[in-house]
Chain A
Amino acid sequence: MAFLELRGVHKSFGDVEVLRGIDLDVEEHQVVCLIGPSGCGKSTLLRCVNALEPIQSGEIRLGGERVSGRGVDVDALRQDVGLVFQSYNLFPHMTVTENVMLAPRKVLGLGAAEARARAHELLARIGLYEKRDEYPDRLSGGQQQRVAIVRALAMQPRLLLLDEVTSALDPELVSEVLSLVEQLAAEGMTMLLATHEMGFARDVASKICFLWQGRIEEEGPPAAIFSDPQRERTRSFLRSIIEAGRL
């Protein structure tokens, strides 16, 4: 039994069926990358795992416990599952430190001093201690995204979801975020991430899942997917990525 299990997950927005039966396993300490064209359901899948979107049918299990459907304590689930967004979504009215310490204080009930100390420690680890009292708007995109990752980490999640965390960044800022994610992978963080950075996915992923029209069209280790894709859709997707010079 895998750490995170999705079985037959269906999700629609009104008449539009975005996820049409997703089966996916993520083992502990694995990094699973979702790739696929825009609109294939990568972001929706991540939001469903975090219960930000309810699913219509199927089941999601985390550590053997059902975490989808009615009667689930979503706030408790989210303590275990962190989510980092494409557009950072830092809280603009709070300083960097306040952003990181908000959830530990209010959800975990830490005291202000302890939460602050832990936030500072995390910020120091990513080299942003100097920026601890700045407001997010004064940081570069890469810095904001690293703070957003740290904000999720401050809750000590067992699973981290990353939704195209470099898509909104200028090219020269991408690497600072990716190297932080690589570092987390090396430290054994379990991660499920949607990405357009194929080179990164190839280097860091334990498993690649190619999503197409709400289904997992093909999955396998990076070497297999990138060098020897079996399905025609996977091949044409990768061909267009190569033509755009992104692989």
Chain B
Amino acid sequence: MTSPLLDAAPPGARPRRAVRPFRASVVPAAAGLVAAVAVTVALWAALRRFDGTLGITGTGLAVTRVGELAIALAALAVPAYAIGAVAATRRARRHLAAGDVPAARIAMEDVRARLWVVAGLGVMAAIVAFLAWFLSANDGRVRDVLFDWSKMWVGPSALARGFWLNVRLFLAAQAIVLVWALFVAIVRQLPGRSFGPARTLAIAYTDVFRGIPSIIVIYLVVLGFALAEVPPFASWDPDTQRFWLAVLALVLVYGAYVAEVYRAGLDSVHPSQTAAARSLGLSQWQTLRHVVVPQAVRRVLPPLLNDFVALQKDTALVSVVGLLDILNVANLQKNKYFDLSPVTGAALFFLVITIPFTRLVDHLIHRDQQRTRAG
């Protein structure tokens, strides 16, 4: 029986591929083992070299060496997984010889899984090897200049005091941006002809301030406003004035970015949600407040977080206009000791804030999804 619907092969179609017999090749596992051994040996060599350039004694040396030993031993996991892959390949070949193809396929799946672990751990080991080599390069100069622990903590209280300014800057800027950007985003999506001028303003603001490098805005606002003695800032004492001008500059720049993030969120809430709210008698404002904005904000939390981490880091830009933030403090130390380690210390300060912040928001997003999404 022929059927015009089912038998119509597209013209010029390739004939179906013949099913190839299943083979259990030893090549992937063997290659994985060779690479694993190579990267482990390279890591050991780099660690040995790193150890040779250490200029410390006593407890510091002991602690470092325990760490080196732990890394060297942990690196053995890479060849161990590769050996497992080789063993699984042999198992697969035995099954194949016995004619048990499904068992052989299962064994080869095991091989693939192990080889992916080898690849992941192998790259990790290679990175550690590179770092060890890099830090010991040029007789340990790199380590001295960038990671001298003792100089990193020269005046930690000075660094901490500087960082407190960064923290205050981003807390103030973040709080204002959160509200200001939402306002801009809402204005931008107001419907109808009468809101035309308001919409144009919102668009002009985002276009302008997203288009200027933040460092230039900081220059113009903090230095420019101070020079021009713009009220009310000019009547404040110089420190307060510069602080709030810096906040203003950051709000102007990040308000534009975050407004666009909010806008994406507002756009993503389906019009049927608005229709449902309006049909219940809620006003346009109540609909925004209780239905649209809460859903929009939930959806854009990840990119919002992204912008806030960027804002936290960009508070370091205010050092160019002379505020004594952590980067400026580190800079003074750097000049004093002719060593960049204090700057590395400043970097660590930022990580201590940004990483837990990121993890916390991720956790909140996950929890919200767990609650509201179907199980």
* Contact surface of A with B, Cβ cutoff 8 Å: 47, 50, 52, 74-76, 78-79, 82-83, 85, 87, 89-93, 102-103, 106-107, 135, 137-138, 148, 151-152, 155
B283 with A85: CB separation less than 8 A: no
CB distance from B285 to the nearest CB of A (A): 10
Q: In whole angstroms, how far apart are the Cα atoms of A158 and B279 in the complex?
A: 14
CB distance from B283 to the nearest CB of A (A): 6
* B62 to A: closest C-beta gap in Å: 55
From 313 to 362 in chain B, residues with beta carbon under 8 angstroms from any chain A beta carbon are: none
B276 close to A91 (CB less than 8 A): yes
Known: A78-B280, A155-B280. A135 touches B275 (CB 8 A): no
Are A78 and B272 interface neighbours, CB within 8 A? no
Q: How large is the interface on B (under 10, 10 to 19, 20 to 34, 35 or more residues)?
A: 20 to 34
- A52 in contact with B275 (CB, 8 Å): yes
A75:B275 contact, CB within 8 angstroms:
no
Quick check: is B224 within 8 A (CB to CB) of the other chain?
Answer: no
Which B residues fall within an 8 A CB radius of A? 272-273, 275-283, 286, 290-291, 294-295, 298, 371-375
The one of B281, B286, B371 in contact with A155, judged by C-beta atoms closer than 8 angstroms, is B281
Residue contact A107 to B280, C-beta cutoff 8 Å: yes
- Asked if B283 and A75 make an inter-chain contact with CB atoms under 8 angstroms apart, the answer reads yes
Among B283, B291, B373, B375, point to the contact of A91 (Cβ < 8 A).
B291
Q: Would you call B276 and A106 a contact (CB within 8 A)?
A: no
With a cutoff of 8 Å between Cβ atoms, the chain B residues found around residue A83 in the complex are 279
- CB contacts between A and B, total, < 8 Å: 67
If A135-B371, A137-B372 touch, whether A91 touches B273 (CB-CB below 8 Å) is yes
Instruction: Give the shortest distance, in Å, between B213 (CB) and chain A (any CB).
Output: 37
Instruction: Name the B residues within 8 Å of A151 (CB-CB).
Output: 280
* Cα distance, A103 to B291, chains bound together (Å): 11
Q: Could you name 18 residue pairs across A and B whose Cβ atoms are closer than 8 Å?
A: A47-B275, A76-B281, A78-B279, A85-B272, A85-B279, A89-B273, A91-B277, A91-B291, A93-B294, A93-B298, A93-B372, A102-B277, A102-B280, A102-B282, A107-B282, A135-B373, A138-B374, A151-B280
Q: How many Å from the CB of B293 to the closest CB on chain A?
A: 10
Which residues does chain B contribute within 8 Å of A90, judged by CB atoms? 276
